[in-house]
Structure 1
């Protein structure tokens, strides 16, 4: 149990439990990442991947993704104390110390690399490590505080999971896998900026130069619309390139038009709740889009 908070505040009396360490790994975020990783594996080849690749590939990638999340908790612990949705995080409250969290992160990262190199392949291991460094190092340590385009530039790290799943099966970086990366890369800005509009004051108080803080809400909403259009175009590429068929095309168009509807409403309406609704829809959108890809794959292969 940790005795003091980061600011030397009163002792923390609650005992540390496994749930605190689980929270450090951002399990909901990692779960969404692992969904795209699994689908990347399933799309890579006809049929079902060998169970060892499926189990150990997802295990190793999840360990490394969790390690990156823990580092994010440590780096952002002062910011987390300011923002309402994060102020009860274990490192922010001092329940878990920064040193304890970093040891945990290192353990997860080493375990993840060992599993991937030993049971999967070195390409997947090093690509996963690179995405960890990109998120925890480049984005969290530098970009997040340096530019309002932080989520755009840093989005590539968060877009990697389907490629990692693909390479776990094929041991190759292939064009169709990169299309999946492109889709998530285009999805990230409208997804995150919608949340940033809803949390604008908190980001401003924390000194984070998110786009709504530096350029205003209307400018951000316009960019959400523009990136949604880019996303809609990107989601058509799997069909255009022959990666997927009609089932996916119909799903992608319907889901994309719904996302576009939210983006247009954001510009027309001054409603913070709508921004949060857009953020929530964007999560469902990505999950359903990849499910359509998967269903289409097994119907047509």
Structure 2
């Protein structure tokens, strides 16, 4: 078993050349390859419901079966338990999923004898190895291709940072540097989840975590903000989800927090312009870091984080419920002034 510690960001294809140029100068190129992937689930989509993924990957060197269990958060980066097995052919081997250590993370409702292909992803991957100032090593990959399901396709364009060795916090300065090259948005929606939606068997999902008085659960709520922005910029999301996640988080921070600036930009700019705004994309990354810091720092005052969160969530919920679509932006902007 391995632990996958990564940051994933979405970007536009026209920004790839500038990123490739920067990475060629600042990191060591490690290759380019074509990857074809088949994703499996039960008819009831038990793996998707458990935020897990099972795939077979085909490359020029052979075939590999991978199972990824539900992700967890550490300092706002995603950590997933992952198993990889070489295969002699492009055919699922259910016996590998029966191993005790796998079964400890395997969703109980997912019957191994009912697994079937749901969708595929085909893309080109370019990779680099970056050495941080503290000697931590980070693999950087850019994936560009398509997600395929039910005779339909949608473009895939992502950049991933994965910790190879050292401290996972070293990924943040690298992310900041890359944000200066091109607008990239932190992503919490996996290739697998996008494939399910394209196949017509998935919907917009959120973590929906609860928090306690000390702030446990905040990173998952920050992931919900990432998701809301991602749906808004690339799919069929709306402002309501952004504000339902983002405004309560902003209320836990000072008015100088970049999250307040990001919320303001979400009202002032059309989605297609917000997508291309490097400062807005970087603001999300910094806001997520700030949320992670809140989980380890003592909070002033008697009022608990949970109470402040609940109050702000109720407040923004009331504004959304009482506002007409035409006046929603103005009503939300008033919240920023109060």
TM over 0.5: no
Bigger helix fraction: 1
Bigger strand fraction: 2
Q: TM-score under structure 1 normalisation?
A: 0.30
Q: TM-score under structure 2 normalisation?
A: 0.27
